[in-house]
Chain A
Amino acid sequence: MKYHAKVIVTLRKSILDPQGKAVEHGIHSLGFTSVENVRVGKFIEFDFEARTYEDAKQLCTEVSDKLLANPVMEDFTFVVEEKRERSQ
């Protein structure tokens, strides 16, 4: 079965995010002054083959934990879906 994963990597809450702060200033300059707590993260998606949905989640966890995110400073969440042929 073919699967599609969407992984979101974010800086841990305890870690200062200067990039998020800079973006926040930009948003304020746009005039949206009520916007706060801006954090910048990463979005990664990929396709892969797995036997079952459980296997697919397992693979995605491993890829995220070992490479896509560094647990010292980042958290990750992901969504795994079956990839249907020819649909989009």
Chain B
Amino acid sequence: MSGFDFFLAAISPYHISIALGGVIAGTVIGALPGLTATMAIAVLVPLTFSMEPASALILMGAIYTGAIYGGAYSAILLKTPGTPSAIATTFDGYPMAKRGDGDLAVTLACLSSVVGGLIGAAFLLGLAPPLANIALAFGPVEYFWLAIFGLSLISALSEGHLLKSLIGGTFGMLLTTIGVAEVSADIRYTFGSHTLIGGIEPVSALIGLYCVPVLIDLVATPGRHLKVTAETRGFRLPEALRLAWRHKINLVRSSVIGTLVGILPGAGGSIAGLVAYSEARRSSKRTEHFGTGEPEGLEASESANNATVGGGFIPTLVLGIPGTPPDAVILGALLVQGIRTGPKLFLEGEGSIVYTFIYGLFIATLLMLPTGLLIGRYAYRFIITFPKALLVPTVAFMTIIGTYAIRNNMSDVVIMIALGAVGWILDRYGFKPSPIVLGLILSRIAEQGFVQGWTIGTARGDVLAEFFARPISMGIIVFIAVSLFYPVIAKRWRLYEEAKNAREN
């Protein structure tokens, strides 16, 4: 079969309709904080037993890609990332919504997600087998440095509050140590409590730290949640398209970053969004506007996180190593179907399933444009027109359901609310939620990488060489140095320029 036949198989009415259904379901699920792509796919797995493998993959891929995009809604409209992948979306998405540009932000998020998804899928289609090797090139030490790099971005993203951000990040790292350590299996900091054995689930912490303070502020302040402009402006699609076209380099760069980070099994969408965001911020002419509602920041985060979908499928399908948590579920469903992943899947003759699926992923991504715009418009209308007295209890209820659903555990809900209260108080003193959540997510990766790197280094007789003499590690260390000291240098430079200008005038 030629590539065109696979394409024809993918655009059968049946496949288009399951892709459409999957995208819609995924978008709605992703928009609700706590309901994740992983869970949505896990629930649907039995349904796929009776389907053809390629169709099952298309359905699961469509849900996945929709859910990653859906996470943008709550990030933009409620300042609460629906999934960790959307953390960087809150930085500029929420300020945009706050000033009355929520409709534009949602439309722009949709466009960026589609671009990111298409670029990620293109890499999957064309370069999957060679790119899969990237997943193998990253050892424990590289993951350690990558996590430190992610943490160092805290400083780049928090000009002016550097110290407070670092304290917040450290607080998040401390929270991670509670419970059973993932690799050493030690039980730490539970103080004899059985409730704390399960530790602090990152997504429930994320919901608490972001969403509860927003809810408290909504109740505590008299104004409207988001600024409402009098005239209806529709999708503001032409405006969004113009913006996207102007920032095309940003979109492509962010999508490539997203794809590459997606290939790394231990990294995940949150790192992808952050790296793309900080790159966009660094290379933009409007650096100082980032964090105040700059469309470029939103585009970077949203295109990068949707690109991780295609990127994550690369190690999953080529090596059998799940790139992301939803990929692990999809891989399990494929095993039940009797499909063996591996390089053979991509060879001529046996490749029908995988290529039909990839074209299906393209179609699902394209379908995200009309459905995302429509759902986004309703979500925006709902948030701005729904009376505050009803909005707060509705969202509060959703956060509880969402938190419970992650692990079917009531203690997660209690921890979520407690962290929310703590987060609100900390926020008043200038400690923002993002560093805390990043610390919580990344220190897990950092700890594992460190312990493993240390063990291997000790066995080889040279711990220092293990950590500092590997080429990829050295590259990441350079990035870390740049991102740590960039704000300081940038500030000095600006002061110098200002002083020079003052002298000249």
A and B found bound together: no
